[in-house]
Amino acid sequence: MSTAVREVRLPRVMPAEQATELVGLPAEDMEPTSISPGTLVRDADTNAPVVLYVPLDNPAPLRRAMLSVPQSTVKRQRNYTSRSRTFGYAPRRPVMGRESCGLTSLTKELPEVARLLESYADQFSDVLTAVLPDVAEANKEVVGGVLPEWRMGTSHTWTSGVINDTAQLPYHRDGFNFPVWSAMPVLRRGTRGGYLHIPEYGIAAPCSDATVTYFEGFKLVHGVTPITYVGGAPGRDKGYRVSVVYYALRGMKNCRDAAEETAYGRERRTERERDMASRLAAGDRSIPT
């Protein structure tokens, strides 16, 4: 695809501290910023890149795959729920019973979809390298401590991702991620709204159908504006807005190679089960049986 972009400079309109106060609040309804695919937004004062907004090359396979993926309802902050699925790799998280690094459930259950998602990760990394080579190089340096087997595609830029199905997301920063730019392709039909609002710059990226928005999700507060269905009642047959966000999880830096992770996870589960059995034998009734 063409990597020629026009540049737009916008001033910062809100300090980071003030943007932090918005975290957890729903994004307000607003009109999109007037930028078309093929635009690079830079800070008017520092000239630092803020948002890259480009067309999505060959969207049809990704659209078919994303509309076929079963979604799960996920509870987020302030009791907000959304339909989403993670893909790629997941770090250890013992509190959720995940004792070792490994594949996400989608990657295990739908390997063909996972391979397709990895191929698009390479496309997005190539575009970022062509337009913002310094950013792309910094990304790779930051995630360089993560073993290649825990990074997606041949570009090895991102470790993981999430598919959000017609989700209005409250303001947040991606606090569990490495300081690496995210790539967010969007596929939509029959919906209005759902713009990516970055209040520090007053940007509401349009997130039109078959576009990709690159941004610093770890650094900039962002949220998704309200989504309405053109045809009225919601439903996949009437409309959708599916976003696919690629990112690099900091927790993956602690992952050993796959064989070691399997052995480590088995050992930790055995220890946990022995501890539970010992506590039950001692009369601890707080452990579920």
Burial class (CB within 10 angstroms; exposed 0-12, middle 13-18, buried 19+) of 169: buried
In a domain, 25, yes or no: yes
Q: pLDDT value at position 264? A: 64
Q: How far is CA 140 from CA 23, 91, 126, 158, in A?
A: 28, 19, 12, 9
Residue 37 and residue 130 share a domain: yes
Residue 247: pLDDT band with limits 50, 70, 90: very high
Residue 207 and residue 191 share a domain: yes
Torsions phi, psi for 32 (to 5 deg):
-75, 155
Residues with Cβ within 8 Å of residue 283, at least 6 apart in sequence: none
Residue 138 parent element (H or E): helix 133-142
Q: pLDDT value at position 70? A: 87
* C-alpha to C-alpha distance for 219 and 222, rounded to whole angstroms: 9
**Sign of dihedral through CA atoms 69, 117, 101, 141?**
negative
Cβ contact 172:215 at 8 Å: no
Cβ contact 42:189 at 8 Å: no
Residues 184, 77, 190: CA angle, nearest 5 degrees: 45
Residue 216 and residue 206 share a domain: yes
Burial class (CB within 10 angstroms; exposed 0-12, middle 13-18, buried 19+) of 31: exposed
Residue 166 and residue 55 share a domain: yes
In the 8-state DSSP scheme, what is residue 107? H
Residues with Cβ within 8 Å of residue 128, at least 6 apart in sequence: 52, 135, 136, 139, 157, 181, 183, 214
Instruction: Please count the structural domains in the chain.
Output: 2
Whether the per-residue pLDDT at 95 is higher than 80: the answer is no
pTM listed for this prediction: 0.87
In a domain, 1, yes or no: no
Whether the per-residue pLDDT at 289 is higher than 70: the answer is no
Residue 246 and residue 190 share a domain: yes
* C-alpha to C-alpha distance for 265 and 283, rounded to whole angstroms: 27
Residue 101 and residue 25 share a domain: yes
What's the domain range around 45? 6-255
Residue 165 and residue 262 share a domain: no
**211-244 pLDDT tens trace:** 999 999 999 999 999 999 987 666 666 799 999 9
Whether the per-residue pLDDT at 27 is higher than 70: the answer is yes
In a domain, 220, yes or no: yes
In a domain, 87, yes or no: yes
